[in-house]
Amino acid sequence: MRSIRIILFSIFIYVSAENALGQINPLLGHFYASEQNGVVFLSWEIIAGSTCNGIQIFRSTDDLNYVQINDIPGICGNISFAQDYIFEDINAVKNKTNFYKLKLGTSGYSPVISVEIIDINTSGYQIRPNPVRENSKIYFTNETNSESLITIYDFKGAEVYTNRTQNNYFDIDGSLFNSGIYIFTISISENRSITTGKLVIH
């Protein structure tokens, strides 16, 4: 079965050019990120009148250890007008939060932005985080935003929870359950498809 990736961001996310220390990078006008079908799109602007010698793009999955994934050599920016850039990361890491930052020549780094990519595999669902604690989500395929029902059963088969949504995920509050193993079913009313899985709650 073909893997189906959930689009986490249908619109661009705006991150200002202010870093964690409260300092403004003098070159950046904005820095955007979005994700579609597992591809991360980065877009940024170098303000008019600013230039740098090369741009390097870095990615991390823990916001600590970064690897360089692309290099744009030569002079960046323009002295007369704002310069826009777009980069597509086709190798973003699935089922992880991908962190990105730019190195703008000798002007230092951009702020860090992040995108989480959820990949629905052949099981038909993805639980993040897993095991479930206080706040988790169960992602599933619901491309038509049909009304869907989740039913959770305890290990003895007794129904302990139900909820409905038209999104492609259910919010699960682990504090509502005792620790243990639970079985769930997700049914989509439009096509009557049923997905079955297991929840582990700590």
- pLDDT (tens, 9 = 90+) of the chain, 202 residues, equals 444 443 343 333 444 444 333 345 778 999 999 988 889 999 999 999 998 999 999 999 999 999 999 999 999 899 899 999 999 999 999 888 999 999 999 999 999 999 988 888 777 899 988 889 788 999 998 888 889 999 999 988 999 999 999 999 999 999 999 999 999 999 987 667 788 999 999 8
pTM, full prediction: 0.70
Per-residue burial over 8-17, b if 16 or more Cβ lie within 10 Å, else e, is bbeeeeebeb
189, exposed or middle or buried, with CB in 10 Å at 0-12, 13-18, 19+?
Answer: exposed
22-25's contacts with Cβ under 8 Å and 24+ in sequence apart are: 25/104, 25/107, 25/108, 25/109, 25/110, 25/111
pLDDT at 145: 86
pLDDT at 121: 72
pLDDT at 190: 65
pLDDT at 134: 82
pLDDT at 144: 84
pLDDT at 103: 95
* Upper half-sphere CA count for residue 170 (Cβ side, 13 Å): 27
